[in-house]
């Protein structure tokens, strides 16, 4: 498909912002390289989006963060960097290869000591975490299987406190969520998720469009005081 002039402009802007504000970090570059070499899909957050996650975590002075969907640990590195050495990040991942690749990446970036990877289906892990009355998190980043997003939101609300941030990747999906006709399972789950965010009186939420080859979006929700 021919790339539209508008998308080309957005990609050029994204590039401009990245050159200005996201200096290359060898550990981060190597992480993406190794994930690719291991055959992991290239579906990590973009560098600018990583910086945005980092800043959001810093703005709420997050000390405890939860990530749902680790992949090669790229977004994990951005979040963990923001937490500082005393911070703790729990990341949930079902795929064993991802866990292996991410561990190597996080170790090399000297961030592994502040990260706890929990291997398994996040739906089961989260149920257990709620049952165990796990200490609430200051920030939750939802980025795993899209059909489970509405369920992940329920768990995220149970695992946070007033003032916490709940973030979610891929909530725009090339604009398909804004169409009125029925989309595929992913699109329909995300539509349901976005409506659920909007309808929750405990949350104050916005979606920020994110430039990728296909335009996507990051949901930013704050749990009310």
Q: Which residues form the interface with ligand DHB (CB under 6 A)?
A: 43, 143, 169-170
Q: Give the nearer residue to ligand SAH in terms of CB position, either 44 or 114.
A: 44
**189 lies in the binding site for Mg ion (CB under 5 A):** no
Neighbours of 204 (CB within 10 A): 12
Rounded distance between C-alpha atoms, residue 202 and residue 225, angstroms: 8
- 27, 164, 211 from 22: Cα distances, Å: 13, 25, 15
Q: Cα-flanking dihedrals φ and ψ of residue 139, to 5°?
A: -150, 135
**169 lies in the binding site for Mg ion (CB under 5 A):** yes
160 contact, one of Mg ion, ligand SAH, ligand DHB, none, CB 5-8 Å limit per kind: none
101 contact, one of Mg ion, ligand DHB, ligand SAH, none, CB 5-8 Å limit per kind: none
Nearest to 165 by CA among 204, 196, 142, 138: 138
Give the rounded distance of the alpha carbon of 198 from its chain centre.
19
Beta strands 203-210 and 115-119 are: unpaired
- Smallest separation, CB 143 to Mg ion (Å): 4
Interface ranges with ligand SAH (CB under 6 A): 43-45, 69-71, 74-75, 92-95, 98, 121-123, 143-145, 148
- Smallest separation, CB 98 to ligand SAH (Å): 4
Residues 106-145 that bind Mg ion (CB under 5 A): 143
In the bound state, the residue with its beta carbon closest to ligand DHB is: 43
**91 lies in the binding site for Mg ion (CB under 5 A):** no
- Smallest separation, CB 169 to ligand DHB (Å): 5
Q: Give the nearer residue to ligand DHB in terms of CB position, either 63 or 118.
A: 118
Rounded distance between C-alpha atoms, residue 87 and residue 14, angstroms: 30
- Smallest separation, CB 169 to Mg ion (Å): 4
98 contact, one of Mg ion, ligand SAH, ligand DHB, none, CB 5-8 Å limit per kind: ligand SAH
Q: Give the nearer residue to ligand SAH in terms of CB position, either 6 or 192.
A: 192
- Smallest separation, CB 5 to ligand SAH (Å): 28
Instruction: Name residue, tokens 């704050």.
Output: 222
Q: Which residues are within 8 A (CB) of 143 and not within 5 positions of it... i.e. 6 or more apart?
A: 45, 67, 68, 69, 71, 75, 168, 169, 170
Task: Give the strands of the sheet with 115-119, arranged side by side.
Answer: 115-119, 88-93, 64-68, 137-142, 160-169, 216-223, 203-210
Q: Give the nearer residue to ligand DHB in terms of CB position, either 160 or 170.
A: 170
- Smallest separation, CB 92 to ligand SAH (Å): 5
């Amino acid at each position: 498909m021919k790339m539209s002039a508008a998308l080309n402009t957005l990609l050029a802007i994204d590039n401009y912002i990245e050159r200005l504000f996201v200096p290359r970090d060898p550990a981060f570059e190597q992480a993406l390289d190794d994930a690719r070499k291991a055959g992991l899909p290239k579906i990590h957050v973009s560098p600018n989006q990583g910086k945005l996650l980092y800043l959001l975590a810093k703005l709420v002075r997050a000390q405890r963060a939860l990530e749902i969907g680790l992949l090669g640990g790229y977004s994990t590195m951005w979040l963990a960097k923001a937490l500082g050495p005393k911070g703790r990040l729990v990341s949930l991942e079902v795929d064993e290869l991802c866990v292996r690749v991410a561990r190597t990446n996080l170790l090399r970036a000297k961030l592994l000591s502040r990260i706890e990877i929990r291997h398994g289906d996040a739906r089961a892990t989260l149920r257990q975490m709620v049952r165990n009355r796990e200490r609430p998190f200051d920030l939750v980043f939802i980025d795993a299987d899209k059909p489970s997003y509405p369920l992940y939101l329920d768990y995220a609300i149970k695992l946070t406190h007033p003032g916490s941030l709940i973030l979610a990747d891929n909530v725009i999906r090339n604009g398909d969520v804004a169409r009125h006709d029925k989309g595929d399972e992913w699109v329909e789950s995300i539509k349901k998720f976005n409506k659920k965010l909007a309808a929750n009186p405990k949350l104050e939420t916005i979606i920020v469009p994110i430039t990728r080859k296909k335009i996507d979006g990051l949901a930013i929700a704050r749990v009310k005081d």
